[in-house]
Structure 1
Amino acid sequence: MSRSERSPLLLAGLLAAAGVTHFAQPRQYDAIIPGALPGDPRTWTYASGAVELALAAGVALPRTRKVAALATAAFFVGVFPANVKMAVDWRDRPARQKAAAMGRLPLQLPLVLWARSVAKNGEGRA
């Protein structure tokens, strides 16, 4: 299997793993839900986990890959405020935790670009 054939499956695996952790360990996600969002943070945690699982399925399937990968790029942009909140909230934590929170911020750009690349390379494939 070539690198271009593996890339969508790896992205789908990342999304699926993240989606599962939203249900298996929701408290860690509840804590980074921006307070400006209405309702209970747990609802947002479960909703974002469900979205990640749906995106994973869409990216894994060649027929829906392009649209799902573009939606994934938008999703990564949309969750950026939660990563900012985490970085701000964790600024006084031990160095390792602070570094992990800060490290998530620049990681969003490669994730967006990866999803866009999967969408572009997924065009016309069935």
Structure 2
Amino acid sequence: MPFTWSGRATQTLSATAMGALLLTSAMKHFRDPAFFHQVVPDFLCRDDTGERPNGACAVMTRDEWVALSGLLEAGAAVGLLIPATRPATAWGVTAMFTAFLAGHADALRRAYGPAGTAAQRKVHTARLPLQLPLIAWAWSLRKPGQAARRRQ
């Protein structure tokens, strides 16, 4: 008799994998925040030096945005592991990854600008399209056992 996965088991495995990915990313936010600096759009960042005119409008520094997104990812990792909170968390993660598109697009724009380097162009050219499968993956976790029901 062949082994078959139930929809619930498949979703639990998928949610666990995404949770592990989010937790790994969250830890990197605190171990190597500079890695994420380029994907925080300038218009969001407070500039306490007074060099940029939008410094008065933005609420947090680049480091604070990186820390906040790391905390959100850590919380999302936990939320995906709990079946009762998984649907709401999946909606939130989908929205978070969608919002991150703006930062990735801005980083790609800057990488191809006059100050961009070849390494930045490579990294950001790869990072932007990777958001799309992450968005689809998070979206797939909204309803329990969805994948198994479609196959039947």
TM-score > 0.5 by shorter chain: yes
Aligned-pair identity in percent equals 28
Q: Is the 8 A contact 2:37 2:62 kept in 1?
A: yes
Deviations 1:1-59 (A, max 9, x none): 75433100011011111111111101121232111111311110100000000000000
Matched residues in 2 for 1:48 and 1:73: separation? 14
What does residue 101 of structure 1 align with?
124
Matched residues in 1 for 2:38 and 2:66: separation? 9
What does residue 19 of structure 2 align with?
12
Matched residues in 2 for 1:41 and 1:122: separation? 39
What does residue 51 of structure 2 align with?
none
Higher alpha-carbon Rg:
2
Q: TM-score normalized by structure 2? A: 0.72
Uncovered stretches (5+) of structure 1, i.e. residues with no partner: none
Secondary structure at 1:108's aligned position in 2?
helix
Uncovered stretches (5+) of structure 2, i.e. residues with no partner: 45-57, 147-152
Q: Is the 8 A contact 2:11 2:145 kept in 1?
A: no
Matched residues in 2 for 1:6 and 1:104: separation? 24
Deviations 1:62-105 (A, max 9, x none): 111111111000000111111112212222422x5423311222
Aligned length: 122
What does residue 72 of structure 1 align with?
93
Q: TM-score normalized by structure 1? A: 0.86
Secondary structure at 1:121's aligned position in 2?
coil
Is the helix fraction higher in 1 or 2? 1
Root-mean-square deviation over aligned CA pairs: 1.9
Q: Does 1:120 align with 2:125?
A: no
Q: Does 1:45 align with 2:66?
A: yes
> Which portions of structure 1, spanning 4 or more consecutive aligned residues, are displaced by more than 4 angstroms?
none
- Amino acid across the alignment from 1:5: T
What does residue 111 of structure 1 align with?
134
- Amino acid across the alignment from 1:62: P
